[in-house]
Amino acid sequence: MPAIPSAHPSACPPESPLRPATDLTRRRLLLAGAALPALGLAGCGTPLALMGTPTHDPAAERLLQQSADEHGWAAYRQLRDINVRYDGTWRPLIDRIQPVVVDKGYRGWSEERLMPQAGMVAQAYTGPAGQKHVWWQRSDGSAQRPGEVAVWYGGQPCTSADARTASALVAEAYGLFLLGPLWLAGQGHVMQMGGTARVDGRACRVVQVWKRPGLGRATLDRVAVFIDTDLGITRRVQFTLEGFDSTQGAVAETDTFEHQRRFGVLWPMRSYEEVVHPLRVPAHDWHITGLDVNRGYDATALRGPVFTGAAAAPAAAL
């Protein structure tokens, strides 16, 4: 495992500066929009407003649960651990708009481990600048167990608050991308019906979810779940990004493709993400290249700086 250069004694990458001022980030977004008019700016109003929490609609919860059932809810509840390997490509521009969140130098292919019933995600990335390891456990919503995150670069702990906060956001989001309605069902979230839409030519019904706690260290995020009207599977999740200062107010979405059922669960073998507000920017294409489940390790195998014990072997190649 190559070490991070000694020029960065904190072990954090040069892309992890002090937290940028919000007005500076907005100015960069506007400049990017002016420089790339073909991308187009989104409307002034966010598509997923967070002001106020509506009354819970049981019909929305039933529809989300039906989609979770279609994705293999019963089998998912029996998964102690999930082991997945991804490969993918970052699109131009996104790393310049959000360098700390993307952390492009350290994010090429990855080995990821999830303990879903514990709300835990760990990620081992390899990129052109070296290795990055992230361990994240979601808060249970109480003061007794807040969300916890730790980050290592080249085997050394990173002390940057920005790198850790952004990594928590990314880790929780990738649980959502992989598992869709399974990641949201049974959590007690407030839900409302959100009308209809078309995703990649398919008619969908939309469930709006007020996710509390939100993605990463956010108190609240809003997630729109686009459920195929005919097949019941989730085609898209659209979500706010309140868990990092410079992404607050932004909305992104991830579409999933080429679903396969393995171990009783429906997995999205290919995914595509883009930012949709305040600027439409293609972000990331990725696909699953390895997958297995239920190795039987515990949380200590994931905490880093590398996977250990039964978590260490690569995900089974597909």
Q: Is residue 87 part of a domain?
A: yes
Question: At 1, which helix (H) or strand (E)?
Answer: none
- pTM assigned to the model: 0.87
Q: Is residue 98 part of a domain?
A: yes
The pLDDT of residue 143 is 61
Ranges under pLDDT 50 in the chain: 1-10, 15-43
Q: Is residue 129 part of a domain?
A: yes
Domain that holds residue 99: 53-294
Q: Are 236 and 260 spatial neighbours (Cβ–Cβ below 8 Å)?
A: no
The pLDDT of residue 3 is 34
Q: Is residue 65 part of a domain?
A: yes
Q: For the beta carbon of residue 182, count every other beta carbon within 10 angstroms.
A: 24
Question: Nearest 5°: CA angle at 169, between 29 and 222?
Answer: 80
- How many domains does the chain divide into? 1
Tokens of 48: 């997923």
Q: Is residue 159 part of a domain?
A: yes
Q: Is residue 238 part of a domain?
A: yes
Alpha-carbon distance of 132 to 139, in angstroms, equals 23
Q: Is residue 234 part of a domain?
A: yes
The predicted-structure confidence for 164-176, as pLDDT tens digits, reads as follows 999 999 999 999 9
The pLDDT of residue 142 is 67
Supply the CATH number for residue 214's domain.
Answer: 2.50.20.10
Q: Is residue 17 part of a domain?
A: no
The residue among 136, 139, 134, 138 whose CA lies nearest residue 124 is 134
